């Protein structure tokens, strides 16, 4: 007896670079606590008012920069939010340290901005944006399993 899970991946899996379609409840996009772990070199952790918790590494956040230049660059490369650039294969492997900000600051009450060590700082990461790109298992699972098959 075999249990076969037949899974049909939807072909038209559209990219939502700036998905503004559905609006999230206010408590889902209001941070209760924001931890920017610069000295640890880890990343950002946010506890949301609705009880959800999100965490991103700095490397991921750098590749998820929401500024127009980076969004365009990702689009041209066909990269998803947070996906690093493909390393050139022919070139000798060079060590590139993972992205890290020198500092970070709040932008009004709605966003955070990073001053990356590579000199970039144009991206304004709104709470809304960050919540939408939450990398927790629950959220990434929900994003991929948009078409659930009821048994």
Q: What does the binding site for Zn ion look like in residue numbers (CB under 5 A)? A: 65, 67, 70, 122-123
What is the nearest approach in angstroms of Zn ion to the Cβ of residue 38?
18
Which of 5, 9, 22, 38 is CA-nearest to residue 131? Answer: 22
We find the least distance from the C-beta atom of residue 74 to Zn ion, in angstroms, to be: 9
The CB-of-147 to Zn ion minimum distance in angstroms stands at 32
Q: List all residues 6 or more positions away from 90 whose beta carbon is below 8 Å from its beta carbon.
A: none
For residue 15, what are the CA distances in angstroms to 19, 61, 143? 9, 18, 11
Q: Which is nearer to Zn ion, 70 or 81 (CB)?
A: 70
- The Cα–Cα gap between 120 and 115 comes to 6
Q: Which is nearer to Zn ion, 48 or 114 (CB)?
A: 114
Q: Whole-number minimum distance, CB 68 to Zn ion, in Å?
A: 8
> 34 pairs with which residues across the strands?
46
Beta bridge partners of 107: 111
Read off φ and ψ for residue 70, nearest 5 degrees.
-70, -40
Q: Which CB sits closer to Zn ion, 48 or 104?
A: 104
Instruction: Please identify, using beta-carbon distances, which residue of 28 and 111 lies nearer to Zn ion.
Output: 111
């Amino acid at each position: 007896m075999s249990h076969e899970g037949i899974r049909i991946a939807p072909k038209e899996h559209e990219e939502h670079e700036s998905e503004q379609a559905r609006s999230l409840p206010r408590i889902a996009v209001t941070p209760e606590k924001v931890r920017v772990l610069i000295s640890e070199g880890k990343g950002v952790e946010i506890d949301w008012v609705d009880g959800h918790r999100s965490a991103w590494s700095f490397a991921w956040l750098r590749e998820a920069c929401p500024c127009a230049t980076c969004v365009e660059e990702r689009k041209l490369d066909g990269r998803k939010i947070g996906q690093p650039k493909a390393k050139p294969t022919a070139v000798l492997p060079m060590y590139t340290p993972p992205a890290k900000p020198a500092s970070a600051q709040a932008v009004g009450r709605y966003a955070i901005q990073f001053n990356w060590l590579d000199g970039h700082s144009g991206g304004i990461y709104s709470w809304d944006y960050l919540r939408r790109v939450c990398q927790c298992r629950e959220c990434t699972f929900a994003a991929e399993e948009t078409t659930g098959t009821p048994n």
